[in-house]
Structure 1
Amino acid sequence: MVQPIEIEGSVFSDTRGKIKFFNTFYMTQIVRFYEISPVSTEIIRGWQGHLKEKKWFYCHTGSFIINTINIADKVIPISNRIPERFVLKENTPLILEVPEGSATAFKSLEYGSKLMVFSNFTLEESMTDDIRFPLETWNAEW
């Protein structure tokens, strides 16, 4: 079973300003990206999963809780699975790599938060691999 991976970045600051960078994040698999800007901290988006598509999440403004769960595991009944919780913050350079065979649900923790999502599938490919679950399918910590 493949688990989400946290890709740590770094920050450099001097008199000219600050640079956040990810020198170990290789973008060769990425074919598209988009930005999500929730209108409220009360809204939870998810559960949305993909058996073949891989995604990377980066919070560049505000903060988010992202819960992930493996949906491809044939051994554990789907209702008995426990989500894994991650917190992404704009001041902590971190990219969350969510492997294929996973579902995600997330919410912003601050008004005005923005989340970048990178994908290795085109929109058309993603739509044929899309699996949705009701929010109450798993008991995630928000």
Structure 2
Amino acid sequence: MILEGRKHSDERGIITSNNDFDASIIKRIYTIENHSNEFIRGWQGHKIEQRWFACMKGSFEISVIEVDDFTNPSKDLTIQKYVLTDDVLTYLHIPSGCITAIQSKEQGSKMLILADYGLGEINDEYRYNLYYFK
């Protein structure tokens, strides 16, 4: 789900905001900067945890798959693609049960990630070969 951000500009500068985002369940915050635009970070995700992604600098393409079976997922699951930019503070919600592949589209791009579980709080990370899904 996309939570659209907003942008306001006046003589003092620019404010980007997202007043629709409820951060009350967030327990952890981190950033990702891929080492190159060719690199795709994925596939990885969570059966229980949720994530929210926001682009802080540049742009990212995020591919999302809702997994049918974390032990032996089907190879032909639907891939949804989203592009986030630093123009406004838009959040992409990745619900539990999904995996992602993340690619920066501009050199120096930086992504903010919010999670609803603390580091090490549960064992809920699943990774798959980048070329597993068709």
Question: How many angstroms does 1:73 deviate by?
Answer: 6.2
Question: How many angstroms does 1:92 deviate by?
Answer: 3.6
Partner AA of 1:131 in structure 2: Y
Once residues 85 and 119 of structure 1 are traced to their aligned partners in structure 2, the CA distance between those partners, rounded to angstroms, is: 20
Partner AA of 1:135 in structure 2: L
Alignment partner, residue 2 of structure 2? 6
Q: Number of paired residues?
A: 132
CA offsets per residue over residues 6-56 of structure 1, 9 Å max, x none? 001111110000000111000011001101111110110010010000000
Partner AA of 2:130 in structure 1: L
Question: Could you tell me which of 1, 5, 17 is aligned with 1:21?
Answer: 17
Residues 1:136 and 2:128 aligned together:
no
Question: Could you tell me which of 25, 30, 34 is aligned with 2:26?
Answer: 30
Per the normalisation by structure 2, the TM-score is 0.93
State the identity %. Answer: 38
4+ residue segments displaced more than 3 Å: none
The gaps in structure 1 that reach 5 residues or longer are: none
Once residues 36 and 100 of structure 2 are traced to their aligned partners in structure 1, the CA distance between those partners, rounded to angstroms, is: 18
Residues 1:51 and 2:50 aligned together:
no
Residues 1:62 and 2:77 aligned together:
no
Once residues 72 and 82 of structure 1 are traced to their aligned partners in structure 2, the CA distance between those partners, rounded to angstroms, is: 11
The gaps in structure 2 that reach 5 residues or longer are: none
Alignment partner, residue 80 of structure 1? 76
Once residues 17 and 25 of structure 1 are traced to their aligned partners in structure 2, the CA distance between those partners, rounded to angstroms, is: 23
Question: How many angstroms does 1:124 deviate by?
Answer: 0.2
RMSD over aligned Cα, in angstroms? 1.5
Which structure carries more helix by proportion?
Answer: 1
